[in-house]
Structure 1
Amino acid sequence: MMAKVTGLEGVVAGETDIGLVDGEKGHLVYRGYWAKELAVSRSYEEVAYLLWNGHLPDPGELEKLKQDMAGARIIPDYLRGMIDLLPPTVPMMLVLQSAVAALGEPVNATWPPTLPQALRLTSVLPTIIAYRYRKLNNLPVIEPLAELGHAANYLYMLKGQIPEEAHVRALSAYLILCMEHGMNASTFASRVVLSTESDMCAAVCGAIGAMKGPLHGGAPSEVIAMLEDIGTMDRAEPWIRAVLDNGGKIMGFGHRIYKTKDPRAEALMIATVEMNGKDPSFDLAIHVEHTAIRLLEEYKPGRRLFTNVEFYAAAILRALQLDPEIFTPTFTAGRIVGWTSHILEQAANNRIFRPQSVYTGPMPDLEA
Structure 2
Amino acid sequence: MNIHLTKSQIGLDGVPAAETVLSHVDGERGELIIAGEHVSTLVRQSSFEGVTARLWNGASQSTLSEANIRASLGAARERAFARLAELLPATQGMGIVDGFRAAVAGLRAEHGLEHEATIVGAFPVIAGALVRRAKGLDPIAPDPSVSHAADTLRMLHGRAPAAREITALDAYLVTVCDHGMNASTFTTRVVASTQADLFAAVTAGYCALTGPLHGGAPEPVLEMLDAIGSRERIQPWVDAALARGERMMGFGHRVYRVRDPRADVLKTAIEALASNGADLPFAGEVEAYIRAALRKKNPDRPLETNVEFFTAILLDALAIPRQAFTPIFAVARAAGWTAHAREQQRTGRLIRPSSSYVGAMPKPFVA
TM over 0.5: yes
What amino acid sits opposite 2:76 in the alignment?
A
Which residue of structure 1 lines up, in the alignment, with residue 315 of structure 2?
A: 317
- Equivalent residue number for residue 45 of structure 2: 41
Q: In the alignment, what sits opposite 1:367?
A: 366
Paired residue secondary structure (1:73)? helix
Deviations 1:135-175 (A, max 9, x none): 23211221111232111111111111111222222221112
Structure 1 residue 130: Cα displacement: 0.6
Deviation at 1:337, TM superposition (A): 0.8
Q: 1:337 aligns with which of 321, 332, 335?
A: 335
Q: Which runs of 5+ in 1 are unaligned?
A: none
Structure 2 residue corresponding to 1:224, chosen from 207, 219, 222: 222
> Which amino acid counterpart does residue 28 of structure 1 have in structure 2?
L
Aligned to 2:287: 289
**Number of equivalences:** 359
Alignment partners' CA distance in 2, 1:136 and 1:186:
26
- State yes or no: 1:240 paired with 2:244: no
CA deviation profile, 1:9-61 (whole Å, cap 9, x unmatched)? 22221111111111011111012100122123321111111111139xxxx93
- Displacement of 1:350 in angstroms is 3.2
- Matching residue's letter, 2:185: T
Equivalent position of 1:135 in the other structure: 133
Change (3 A) 1:53 1:76: closer
Q: SS of 1:12's equivalent?
A: coil
Q: Which residue of 1 aligns with 2:207?
A: 209
Q: Which is worse superposed, 85-94 or 330-339?
A: 85-94
Equivalence for 2:100: 96
Tell me if structure 2 keeps the 8 A contact 1:122–1:333.
yes
SS of 2:272 mapped into structure 1: helix
1:285 counterpart letter in structure 2: A
Secondary structure at 1:296's aligned position in 2? helix
Query: What stretches of structure 2 of length at least 5 have no aligned partner?
Result: none
User: Structure 1 196/246 Cα, relative in aligned 2: closer, same or farther at 3 Å?
Assistant: closer
Of 39, 46, 66, the match for 1:62: 66
Match of 2:253 among 248, 252, 255: 255
Q: 1:361 to 1:36 in 2, by over 3 A?
A: farther
Q: Which residue identity does 2:67 align to in structure 1?
A: E
CA contact (8 A) 2:88 2:103 kept: no
Residue 336 to residue 87, structure 1, CA distance change in 2 (3 Å): closer
Shift of 1:209: 1.5
Give per-residue Cα distances to partners, 1:309-340, cap 9 Å, x unaligned: 00000111121222111111111111111111
Kept in 2: contact 1:155–1:163 (CA 8 A): yes
1:47 maps to a residue whose letter is: V
Q: d(CA) in 1 for partners of 2:296 and 2:78? A: 52
Q: 1:303 Cα shift?
A: 3.1
- 1:16-165 matches, cutoff 5 A: 16-54=20-58, 61-76=65-80, 79-86=83-90, 88-105=92-109, 116-165=114-163
Larger mean Cα displacement after TM superposition, 129-138 or 218-227: 129-138
Larger deviation: 234-243 or 142-151? 234-243
Cα deviation, residue 190, structure 1: 1.0
3-state secondary structure, aligned to 1:217? coil
Asked if residue 355 in structure 1 is aligned to residue 359 in structure 2, the reply is: no
Does structure 2 retain, via aligned residues, the 8 Å contact 1:276–1:283?
no
Q: 1:6 aligns with which of 7, 10, 14?
A: 10
Counterpart Cα distance in 2 of 1:74 and 1:194: 27
Q: Is the 8 A contact 2:91 2:98 kept in 1?
A: no
Matches of 1:301 and 1:358 in 2, distance apart?
A: 35
Match for 1:10: what amino acid? G
SS at the partner of 2:123? helix
Maintained 8 Å contact 1:31/1:51? yes
- Compared with structure 1, are the counterparts of its residues 101 and 247 closer, same or farther at alpha carbon in structure 2 (3 Å cutoff)? closer
Secondary structure of the 1:20 match is: strand
Please give the secondary structure, in 2, of the residue aligned with 1:216.
coil
Give distance in 2, aligned partners of 1:164 and 1:226: 29
- Write the distance in 2 (CA, Å) between the matches of 1:124 and 1:196: 24
Name the amino acid aligned to 1:41.
Answer: Q
In the TM superposition, what whole-angstrom CA distance separates every residue of 1:224-252 from its partner, at most 9, and x where no partner exists? 10011112233223322322344333211
